[in-house]
Amino acid sequence: MISVRNLTKRYAGHTAVDDISFEVDRGEIVGFLGPNGAGKSTTMRILTCYLSATQGAASVGGFDTFKDSIEVRKRIGYMPENVPLYDDMRVKEYLHFRAQLKGLRGRSARRAAGEAMDTCSLQDVRRKMIGTLSKGYRQRVGLADALVNKPELLILDEPTNGLDPNQIRQVRELIKHLGERHTILISTHILSEVEMTATRVIIIDKGRIKASDTPQNLIRRLHSSGTVHMEVKAKPKQVIEKIETLSDIKNAIHIGTSQGWSTIDVHAFSNVDIREQLSSLAQEQNWPLRELYRDTASLEDAFVDITRS
Amino acid sequence: MRQFFILLRKELRSFFLSPLAYVIIALFTFLNGWLFSSIVTAMRMKVNQHSLVYNLFDSGWFWMGYFFLFPLLTMRLFAEEKKLGTLETLLTAPVRTAQVVLAKFVATTILYIVIMLPIFAFFFLFEDITGESAAFQKGAFYGAAAILLLVGIFNIAIGCFASSLTSNQLIAAMITFVVVVLHYFLGFIHYFGAKLPAELLAKVTYFSTVEHRHLFTEGLIDSRPVIYYLSSAVVMLFLTHHVLERRRWQS
């Protein structure tokens, strides 16, 4: 659906996107992650034909974003960052206008606007002026605009930016639902969101692609997941000595003691799960054990690890 | 073409559903009405060889209003869209930049015509009430209407261009104001003590609205100013189009 080859975008004295290449297949939900200023929005703007590339090429559905920009624009629904909207229009009127602009006529434009309002739960505010809407509703109007002509590809730039947790959850559900019918490229800071919705994640930093994989695989790459926390009622020094005699253990660190319970972090080599060994040890030594859990790395850890290196 | 009409309708709607259009229409109808009655009074006091149509459009006061009208009409066209970011949603929809520019230009021209219509109503009211003719020949009305339309088209195109240059409406308004004023005063350059060679002075004043309006309000529709205003407007719109397209130029 999307094909980006050696794309570079330079502004005076600064390279926003530096020779990136990636593909997005039909039906994928791809999360586009990166710190602020990494080049996500610039890439999205090139894909939506708003900007041109300095070098390289991008195509959507087989059409070049520079040479066949109208054909590309017919196939995408784009929601820019900060959701720019006409404040002096009513929701229904705006969506009808946008549906017409995207090539739908008469009754079908009206029907499309109605369906987009249903999908984004906007029926309650359809007669309201956009300028009077709350941030959450504005975001949904932007989303409804992006999908009003049922485009093959949705490009959403920070769709949950500035929303409260309830609204984020609603938008996330909506994106999941939309993913059944559309290919989606979504950029966001909220990593848990991508972890739950995206089938693949592309991490971009300083204009370059640092990683492209499924969220699960990215997390698996992290070594920190070998850490196990345990709380036992025993002398910490004795516990550490015993633990370090086990195989696969890198080291054990005493974190603190409270009312006789010692908290210890045990680091294993690579991704070995050492919980079984530790519980057997506690049983052997007759240490009362009240907590034993393995650190699970999140996409956030993967993101920090990848963008820092 | 369909996209053009959709955009035109949206522009007209945002003009006529905002108070700004009505404030401008009311203000200019009032000012022009006041000027009209002053000129009728002046013509009663002193014998005058020209018609009412000629005298009204020859008045510097009438054109003074123009200095403010065009910045007001055009400042928001692109500057507001840039500021709000809606230019991005607009130009990532399957529409051509030329359609966007033309729709905004035509919508503003329509609003301008609506603002100017009451002046012609004044003339017909005058003729109806007094039984006197406001112009010596019917052609003077057509000439006056033509020159107002031509100057309007030209100045609106300048305003479009100025508005496309910035996201600040005030700056857009200032640029339009300065260009409109400078263009108007080309015709008065000799009053300001400009020591230009006679040949150059004649050329400079030839481009000025002052010269053209004398001919047109006497009923003489000269094709040279028509071509001058229309082609200048086309150049301005072409430049506007290029300013908006600049972001897509490949280096």
User: How large is the ipTM?
Assistant: 0.86
Least confident range from A66-75, A130-139, A205-214: namely A205-214
pLDDT in tens, chain B (251 residues): 888 999 999 999 988 988 888 999 999 999 989 998 888 888 888 877 778 888 888 887 888 888 899 999 999 999 999 999 999 999 999 999 999 999 999 999 999 999 999 888 888 888 888 887 777 777 888 888 898 999 999 999 999 999 999 999 999 999 999 999 888 887 776 676 667 777 777 777 777 777 788 778 777 888 888 999 999 999 999 999 999 998 877 55
Chain A nearest-CA distance from B5, in A, is 10
Q: A86 and B84: CB-CB below 8 Å?
A: yes
At A5-24, the pLDDT tens digits run 999 998 888 888 889 999 99
Q: B85 and A84: CB-CB below 8 Å?
A: yes
For residue B25, tell me if it sits in a domain.
yes
Mutate to test the interface with B, among A8, A17, A46, A52 (most CBs of B within 10 A): A52
Identify the pLDDT of residue A222: 61
CA-nearest of A73, A57, A55, A11 to A37 is A11
Where in the sequence of chain A do the CATH 3.30.70.3190 domains occur? 224-296
| DSSP output for A196-249 | HH-SEEEEEETTEEEEEE-HHHHHHT-SGGGEEEEEEES-HHHHHHHHTTSTTE
Chain A residues touching B85 at Cβ < 8 A: 80, 82, 84
Would an 8 Å CB–CB cutoff place A53 in contact with chain B?
yes
Mutate to test the interface with A, among B1, B91, B92 (most CBs of A within 10 A): B92
Where in the sequence of chain A do the CATH 3.40.50.300 domains occur? 2-220
Q: What is the pTM of this model?
A: 0.85
Q: B85 and A82: CB-CB below 8 Å?
A: yes
For residue B251, tell me if it sits in a domain.
no
pLDDT at A104 over 80: yes
Chain B residues touching A100 at Cβ < 8 A: 6
Chain A residues touching B95 at Cβ < 8 A: 101
Strands lying side by side in the sheet with A63-64: A14-24, A2-11, A55-60, A63-64
Q: Are A87 and A129 in contact (CB under 8 A)?
A: yes
Beta strands A200-205 and A208-213 are antiparallel
Domain with B87, as residue range(s), is: 2-246
Rounded distance between C-alpha atoms, residue A244 and residue A250, angstroms = 8
Identify the pLDDT of residue B110: 96
In A, minimum Cα distance to B87 occurs at A84
Identify the pLDDT of residue A224: 53
Identify the pLDDT of residue B192: 67
- CA distance to A69, B30, B128, per residue, from B116 (Å): 40, 12, 20
Chain A residues touching B94 at Cβ < 8 A: 70, 73-74, 101-103
Chain A residues touching B18 at Cβ < 8 A: 88
At A261-290, the pLDDT tens digits run 999 988 887 667 788 888 888 898 899 999
Rounded distance between C-alpha atoms, residue A223 and residue B213, angstroms = 82
Q: A52 and B248: CB-CB below 8 Å?
A: yes
CA-nearest of A100, A135, A104, B14 to A143 is A135
Identify the pLDDT of residue B41: 87
pLDDT at A306 over 80: no
For residue B161, tell me if it sits in a domain.
yes
Interchain CB contacts (distance < 8 Å): A and B: 69
Q: Which of B6, B18, B249 has its CB closest to that of A101?
A: B6
Identify the pLDDT of residue A225: 56
**Total domains in the fold of chain B:** 1
Chain A nearest-CA distance from B87, in A, is 9
CATH topology classification for A224-296: Alpha-Beta Plaits (3.30.70)
Identify the pLDDT of residue B98: 95
Interfacial residues of B (vs A; Cβ cutoff 8 Å): 2-3, 6-7, 10, 14, 17-18, 84-86, 88-89, 91-96, 247-251
CA-nearest of A288, A278, A277 to A235 is A288
For residue B183, tell me if it sits in a domain.
yes
In A, minimum Cα distance to B16 occurs at A88
CATH code given to domain A2-220:
3.40.50.300
Rounded distance between C-alpha atoms, residue A80 and residue A143, angstroms = 10
In A, minimum Cα distance to B244 occurs at A50
Identify the pLDDT of residue A223: 52
